[in-house]
């Protein structure tokens, strides 16, 4: 297990280093300079600004400085927002995004698990077909379409919920639902398959032969074992919620990290784009890492084998 | 007594026992892999629904812009924001395609428009019918091209890794592991920032990390196939490499390849739409399904049809591909044969 964890940490660091390097050089490749929009600057001003951002140094020096700063958690200064540190800008925006993401993940997991369990227990009945149908719909309808549909029906037509903005719990309902649709669909589908597989295994038959009641078997033996593989898809789903929030935050005008990222793209605020990209990537990689390690802890077969096949 | 009864039996009551030839007779016609798969696919209602919708939408995307009297970029400000009006269906009240705006005001009558704009017009007076199908065309083009390039790279990379195995395989797989660790959308966004949004740059951006999934599947399949007894048996019987590949490896690997491609198309359609939302999609006057939905959001309160119609088309398209992919996965799995 220790060896596996170490191996994963090394991979994680390599990936992060590659992302940081790639981001840096891609940003240098970008056409135009951040100062281009302000053509009125005198040459002296440009020199001063270039000096401040370290743009006069040769590229390798800039690269090393950049990596050094990065290691200390310094992501540079924003080009557009009056020299505010990017780290500070990210920190100020993380709240709504984190709340939205966690709400969607928790809601999606709970509803998805319940749907999946019902579908598996009532295999080949109306409930099963209903849940399977819902899952296909949930996977197919993009979150932004779902968001638009809710805004139109619940917000504009029925006026039940606020259409946009971020001023209280009622404002979080629609974006949370929009983000959790995909999670519900995936978890219910996965849980159904896993539970059906477990129910067909020998130890369940043994439990039945011993005379344990159906509900006892399902709660004590089947669900607990079926839950283990479901952990693996939590990581990718969390990543999906985070990328989905880029669009959802824009649609609902939520002052989160995703909304800021999209804005920085349209404003060519390169340091913010770069910083947010690295922050997102690090978070993605970290979530996947935690989920993998968790999986190793929960499932002894993997712990003993010393790594996933 | 018993003896007598037996003597009374006439010889007509007997017939020769079935010969050995009959025991070995093949009971049902032998089917090729594809015939078999098609029979299974036909039984799956969802997959057939998906197949029909995919074909229908593809045909509309190809031909609707060609046969219309309008083009996707032709503007007519006098006829802007007309609600949808479709002949015959206009009499079915709840569909809302009667040419009346949300307050029940007949815009067509007021502006004295005789023509029917099936999906209405947008804020610049462009025909939405043509724009929606033109957009579908672009979305499909991007998705199918990205899926095919993924397929091509994936088969070669995965094939080489799986076939040679050992050290080659090890190195190639480590590279993939690192690539997979990089969030797909981040790379796509960075790439498009540099090469400016356009059909080609969007396709290429999606391919950069998109091929890894296919490569892993091909490698896994080839590795599995190499160790199977039937391949060994075929080799022992003296089958040439060409026969091994053509008769055994390809049919067995092709199923998962087709299924993966089927699922990567809706993924690419979604990614393209996603890019439109963050301002990195197809630039106007060109349209894609994503950019149409994105534009539609501006008029959600006043002209909702501009949001609803492209939303329905993109959802239906992704749904159909998913249903078809699900059906194909079941149909192409030889172990499902009954």
Tens digit of pLDDT for each residue in A264-302? 887 777 788 888 888 888 888 888 888 878 877 777 666
Checking if the pLDDT of B59 tops 70, the result is yes
Higher-confidence position of B67 and B155: B155
CA of residue B322 relative to chain centroid, distance: 7
Distances in Å between the alpha carbon of A66 and those of A24, A59, A70, A285? 8, 10, 6, 21
Cis, bond preceding B285 (omega within 30 deg of 0) = yes
Tokens 């009499």: give the residue: B91
Subunit contact A247:B307, Cβ cutoff 8 A: no
Give the least confident one: A37-51, B220-234, B238-252, B307-321. Answer: A37-51
Give the model's pLDDT for residue A276: 86
Give the least confident one: A205-209, B79-83, B208-212, B269-273. Answer: B79-83
Q: Is the ipTM of this complex over 0.95?
A: no
Subunit contact A145:B314, Cβ cutoff 8 A: yes
Q: What is the pLDDT of residues B5-18, one digit of tens each?
A: 777 777 777 777 76
Q: What angle do CA A20, A22, A27 make, to 5 degrees?
A: 95
Whole-angstrom distance, CA of residue B131 vs CA of residue B128: 5
Give the model's pLDDT for residue A107: 93
* DSSP tag of B1: -
- Nearest residue on chain A to B220, alpha-carbon basis: A309
Which structure tokens are listed for A228? 């283990």
pTM exceeds 0.90 for this model = no
Which structure tokens are listed for B251? 């049919």
Low-confidence ranges of chain A (pLDDT < 70): 31-41, 52-54, 300-309
Give the model's pLDDT for residue A35: 57
Q: A151 to chain B: which residues are within 8 Å by CB?
A: 300
Count of alpha carbons within 13 angstroms of residue B21, beta-carbon side: 0
CATH T-level topology, domain A90-259: MetI-like fold (1.10.3720)
Tokens 């049902």: give the residue: B28
Q: A26 to chain B: which residues are within 8 Å by CB?
A: 190-191, 193-194
Whole-angstrom distance, CA of residue A129 vs CA of residue A216: 25
Torsion of CA A91, A35, B286, B296, to 10 degrees: 40
Higher-confidence position of A60 and B75: A60
Q: Which of B35-49, B91-105, B122-136, B294-308 ranks highest by mean pLDDT?
A: B35-49
Give the model's pLDDT for residue A309: 37
Q: Which of B53-57, B176-180, B252-256 ranks highest by mean pLDDT?
A: B53-57
Give the least confident one: A13-22, A138-147, B120-129, B325-334. Answer: B120-129
Give the model's pLDDT for residue B173: 85
Give the model's pLDDT for residue B147: 92
Checking if the pLDDT of B37 tops 50, the result is yes
Whole-angstrom distance, CA of residue A242 vs CA of residue A249: 10
Q: What is the pLDDT of residues B258-274, one digit of tens each?
A: 888 888 898 888 888 88
Q: What is the CA radius of gyration of chain A?
A: 24
* DSSP tag of B85: B
Task: Please state which architecture CATH assigns to domain B34-69+128-336.
Answer: Orthogonal Bundle (1.10)
Contact B283, B198 (CB under 8 A): yes
Min distance B96 CA to chain A CA atoms (Å): 14
Which of A28, A247, A249, A268 is best to mutate for the B interface (most B CBs within 10 A)?
A247
Angle of helix A143-150 relative to helix B250-277, nearest 10 degrees, comes to 40
Q: B300 to chain A: which residues are within 8 Å by CB?
A: 148, 151-152, 156, 163
Q: A148 to chain B: which residues are within 8 Å by CB?
A: 293, 296-297, 300, 307, 311
- Strands of A1-115 (E only): list them: none
Whole-angstrom distance, CA of residue B196 vs CA of residue B280: 8
Give the model's pLDDT for residue A79: 72
**Band of pLDDT at residue B2, cut at 50, 70 and 90:** low
């Amino acid at each position: 297990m220790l060896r596996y964890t170490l191996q994963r940490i090394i991979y994680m660091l390599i990936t992060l280093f590659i992302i940081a390097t790639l981001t840096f050089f891609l940003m240098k490749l970008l056409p135009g300079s951040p100062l281009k929009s302000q053509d009125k600057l005198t040459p002296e001003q440009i020199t001063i600004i270039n000096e401040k951002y370290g743009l006069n140094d040769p590229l390798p020096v800039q690269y090393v400085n950049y990596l050094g700063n990065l290691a200390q958690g310094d992501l540079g200064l924003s080009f557009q927002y009056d020299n505010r540190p990017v780290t500070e800008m990210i920190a100020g925006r993380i709240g709504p995004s984190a709340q939205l993401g966690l709400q969607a993940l928790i809601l999606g997991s709970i509803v998805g698990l319940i749907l999946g369990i019902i579908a598996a227990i009532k295999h080949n009945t109306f409930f099963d077909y209903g849940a399977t149908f819902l899952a296909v719909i949930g996977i197919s309808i993009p979150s932004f379409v779902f968001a638009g549909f809710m805004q139109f029906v619940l917000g504009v037509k029925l006026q039940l919920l606020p259409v946009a903005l971020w001023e209280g719990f009622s404002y979080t309902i629609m974006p949370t639902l929009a983000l959790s649709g995909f999670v519900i669909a995936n978890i219910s589908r996965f849980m159904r398959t896993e539970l059906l597989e477990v129910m067909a295994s020998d130890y369940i038959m043994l439990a039945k032969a011993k005379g344990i009641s159906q509900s006892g078997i399902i709660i004590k033996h089947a669900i607990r074992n079926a839950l283990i593989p479901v952990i693996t898809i939590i990581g990718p789903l969390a990543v999906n919620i985070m990328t989905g929030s880029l669009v959802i935050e824009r649609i609902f005008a939520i002052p989160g990290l995703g909304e800021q990222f999209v804005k920085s793209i349209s404003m060519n605020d390169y340091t913010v784009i770069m910083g947010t990209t690295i922050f997102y990537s690090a978070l993605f990689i970290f979530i996947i890492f935690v989920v993998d390690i968790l999986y190793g802890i929960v499932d002894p077969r993997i712990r003993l084998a010393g790594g996933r096949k | 007594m018993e003896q007598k009864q037996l003597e009374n039996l006439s010889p007509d009551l007997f017939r020769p026992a079935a010969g050995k030839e009959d025991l070995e007779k093949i009971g049902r016609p032998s089917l090729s892999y594809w015939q078999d798969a098609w029979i299974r696919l036909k039984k799956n209602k969802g997959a057939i629904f998906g197949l029909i919708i995919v074909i229908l939408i593809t045909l509309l995307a190809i031909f609707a812009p060609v046969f219309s009297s309008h083009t996707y970029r032709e503007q007519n400000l006098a006829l802007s924001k007309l609600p949808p009006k479709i002949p015959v269906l206009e009499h079915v009240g709840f569909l809302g395609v009667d040419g009346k705006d949300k307050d029940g005001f007949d815009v067509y009558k007021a502006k004295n428009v005789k023509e029917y704009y099936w999906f209405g017009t947008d804020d610049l007076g462009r025909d939405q019918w043509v724009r929606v199908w033109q957009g579908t065309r672009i979305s499909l083009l991007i998705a199918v091209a990205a899926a095919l390039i993924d397929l091509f790279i994936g088969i070669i990379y995965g094939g080489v890794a799986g076939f040679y195995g050992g050290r080659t395989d090890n190195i190639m797989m480590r590279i993939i592991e690192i690539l997979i660790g990089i969030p797909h959308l981040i790379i796509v966004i960075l790439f498009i920032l540099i090469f400016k949004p356009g059909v080609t740059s969007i396709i290429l951006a999606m391919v950069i990390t998109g091929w890894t999934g296919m490569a892993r599947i091909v490698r896994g399949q080839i590795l599995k196939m190499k160790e199977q007894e039937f391949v060994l048996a075929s080799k022992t019987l003296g089958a040439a490499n060409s026969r091994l590949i053509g008769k055994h490896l390809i049919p067995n690997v092709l199923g998962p390849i087709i299924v993966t491609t089927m699922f990567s198309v809706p993924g690419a359609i979604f990614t393209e739409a996603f890019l439109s939302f963050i301002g990195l999609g197809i630039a106007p006057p060109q349209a894609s399904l994503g950019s149409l939905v994105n534009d539609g959001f501006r008029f959600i309160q006043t002209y909702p049809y501009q949001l609803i119609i492209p939303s329905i088309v993109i959802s239906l398209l992704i749904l159909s591909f998913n249903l078809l992919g699900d059906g194909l996965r079941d149909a192409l799995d030889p172990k499902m044969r009954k």
